[in-house]
Amino acid sequence: MALTNEKIQQRLTEKFGEGFFTFEESYGMLDMEAPKEHNLKVLQFLFDDAELNFKFLTDLCAVNYPDLPGRELAVVYHLHNLQDNVRIRFKVFTDITAPDIYTASKLFSAANWMERETYDFYGVNFVGHPNLKRVLNVDEMDYFPMRKEYPLEDQTRVDKDDDMFGR
């Protein structure tokens, strides 16, 4: 039997209970959200369950939502079941003042580098990561450049010529 979004949703609800997840479907891909404290349990279940079989981590990234108090940072996992060619998106949200998420690097070896990059640009602290340090930015940086905390440019500057920038 082919693996469908409804079947994935049913298996997750059987395991974790009603109301544990928030499910959506966009462009045919199942999007789900769970509490951040359970990210590793959910990922382990998706990996281990013989029927679901999500053994490939396609991508791991973060998104900054500054207008959502208490949910400013989202960690997004894209998982792929290679046998049935099914992809899902799993999200966990965290407060920007305590951005602690359990590492998935022991489950998916590809998560190691992706978590380091996410830490480097968004400041998400992956608890239990074997080597969580900056990979692309300098160690002396005391901010996280992909957060939407700063304006893109200073509108009051007079030392630049807009004609040079195609404006």
Q: What is the pLDDT of residue 150?
A: 74
What range does the domain containing 127 cover? 20-137
Question: Can you give the pLDDT at residue 124?
Answer: 97
Establish if 142 belongs to a structural domain.
no
Q: Residues near 138 by Cβ (< 8 Å), separated by ≥ 6?
A: none
Coil/strand/helix, residue 76: strand
Q: What confidence score (pLDDT) does residue 149 get? A: 84
12 in a domain, yes or no? no
**CA 25 to centroid of chain Cα atoms:** 17
Could you tell me if residue 154 is inside a domain? Answer: no
- Residue 26 located in a structural domain: yes
Q: How many domains does the chain have?
A: 1
Can you give the pLDDT at residue 86?
Answer: 96
Residue 164: per-residue pLDDT: 65
Place of tokens 């469908």: 4
85: left (phi over 0), alpha (psi -120 to 50) or beta: left
- Does residue 78 form part of some domain? yes
Residue 127: which H helix or E strand, with range?
A: strand 125-127
Residue 161 is predicted with a pLDDT of 65
Q: Is residue 35 assigned to a domain?
A: yes
Instruction: Give the other-Cβ count within 10 Å of 152's Cβ.
Output: 6
Q: What is the CATH number of the domain that holds 64?
A: 3.30.460.80
- What is the mean pLDDT of each successive set of 10 residues along the chain, which is 167 residues long? 92 94 94 96 97 97 96 98 97 96 96 97 97 93 89 69 64
**What DSSP string runs through 40-71?**
HHHHHHHHH-TTT---EEEEEEEEE-TTSTT-
User: Does some domain include residue 147?
Assistant: no
In this structure, is residue 42 part of a structural domain?
yes
Query: What sign does the CA torsion over 122, 123, 127, 129 have?
Result: positive
